[in-house]
Amino acid sequence: MSVQFERVALIGIGLIGSSLAHVMRREKIATHITGYARSEETRKTAVQLGLVDSIHSTAASAVKDADLVILCVPVGACAAIAMEIGGALKPGCIVTDVGSVKAAVVRDVAPHLPAGVHFVPGHPIAGTEQSGPASGFADLFLKRWCILTPLPGGDASAVTRLEKFWHSCGSEVELMTPEHHDLVLAITSHLPHLIAYNTVATAADLEEVTDSEVIKYSAGGFRDFTRIAASDPTMWRDVFLNNREAVLEMLGRFSEDLSALQRAIRWGDGEALFNLFTRAREVRRNIIAAGQETAAPDFGRDPKHR
């Protein structure tokens, strides 16, 4: 793979930033990677792991002379970062992000970027419940989708260059509007996280069942919820604060469907339950057929750790 960008700036070096550093190194996508992290500890780890060629304690100094700037911070931090870097960006450079919400990032970032800088928002649909600079790995984006939400009237060649970048990281790329992205992700990602957080919180608050029983007898279903609920609290707080409308819309539908299930259980309507469970099973089969999940029992986990 040939060099695509001379200088790439990673603003934020957590799971996503460090994974991008690993894959850029492996695929030789950039000649020089600069990094910004707000904490001394993350800056030290990034250097120790060889993730960056130069490390900066301000975002403005990290983006100097960069051809590609990737914001890898929680969605709620993007406005302040954009305000800080706006005046330091090289004319003609591409600015993108990896935030899990798109319309709010466009609202918060675009006004701070000068004319002549190309802003192409993005979101790799790839992640784990781990966070921090040591959690990244080069294959995180392999065979995953990356959604780009180009702005109307934006530079088409910047979008093409970014598509190529994500293809080199192993991803497939889809373009859509920020609003459509937020609606789709509200049901496929944001709502499941909310349900997981709530399920785990409900279990933790039970008075007749002790905490140790919840842990000792945790069945596969509950353990999967705890895995999702172990995700970074800052990142997820920002997702719900910034995708409020779409999440509330999906939550409304979800609550109605849950009431229907509740009624089916109360009235012993086995047929309704069976039909719904059969439809749900079909969705999982389709996800596996699309190569987005493994068909191995218990998600391919080592039997020793089931």
**CB of 107 or CB of 306, closer to ligand NAP:** 107
Give residues 44-73 in contact with ligand NAP (rule: CB under 6 A): 72-73
Tokens of 12: 């934020």
- The footprint of ligand NAP on residues 8-37 (CB under 6 A) is 12-17, 37
Identify which of 33, 40, 17, 90 has the alpha carbon closest to the alpha carbon of residue 60. 90
Evaluate whether 161 touches 4 at the Cβ level (below 8 Å).
yes
Would you give the binding string for ligand NAP spanning residues 151-170, x where CB under 6 A is met? --------------------
For 122, counting Cβ atoms within 10 Å of its Cβ (0-12 exposed, 13-18 middle, 19+ buried), the class is: buried
The rounded distance, in Å, linking the Cα atoms of 69 and 242 is: 22
Count of residues that interact with ligand NAP, criterion CB under 6 A: 26
Report yes or no: 240 and 194 within 8 Å, Cβ to Cβ. yes
Q: Which residue, 227 or 261, has its beta carbon nearer to ligand NAP?
A: 227
Min dist. Cβ of residue 294 to ligand NAP (A)? 18
CB of 57 to ligand NAP, least distance (A): 10
Binding segment for ligand NAP (CB under 6 A), chosen from 50-58, 119-127, 276-284, 297-305, is 119-127
Q: Both tokens of residue 26?
A: 């492996």
**Residue 179 three-state SS:** helix
Separation between Cα atoms, residue 147 and residue 13, nearest integer Å: 20
Task: Report the candidate in 101, 77, 98, 76 with the shortest Cα–Cα distance to residue 243.
Answer: 101
Cα 2 to the chain's mean position, in Å?
Answer: 27
Least Å distance, CB 205 to ligand NAP, is 26
CB of 48 to ligand NAP, least distance (A): 14
Cβ 13 to ligand NAP shortest distance, Å: 5
Contacts of 128 (CB under 8 A, 6+ apart): 15, 135, 140
Out of 99, 121, 122, 150, the only residue in the binding site for ligand NAP (CB under 6 A) is: 99
Is 98 among the residues that bind ligand NAP (CB under 6 A)?
A: yes
Query: CB-based contacts of 27: which residues, under 8 Å, 6+ apart?
Result: 1, 168, 169
Residues 263-292 that bind ligand NAP (CB under 6 A): none
Structure tokens at 134: 């040591």
Query: CB 96 → ligand NAP: shortest distance, Å?
Result: 12
Helix 191-205 / helix 220-229 crossing angle, nearest 10 deg: 110
Residue (199 or 234) nearer to ligand NAP, CB:
234
State which of residues 25, 132, 174, 276 lies at the interface with ligand NAP (CB under 6 A): 132
Amino acid found at 160: T
Using CB atoms within 10 A of its CB, is residue 162 exposed (0-12), middle (13-18) or buried (19+)? buried
Encoded one letter per residue, x for contact with ligand NAP by CB under 6 A and - for no contact, window 71-90 reads: -xxxx-x-------------
DSSP 150: P
- Rank residues 21 and 270 by Cβ distance to ligand NAP and give the closer one: 21
The single residue among 100, 149, 171, 242 that binds ligand NAP, judged by CB under 6 A, is 100
Binding string, residues 230-259; x marks residues near ligand NAP by CB under 6 A: --x-xx------------------------
Residues at the interface with ligand NAP (CB under 6 A): 12-17, 37-39, 42, 72-75, 77, 98-100, 123-124, 127, 131-132, 232, 234-235
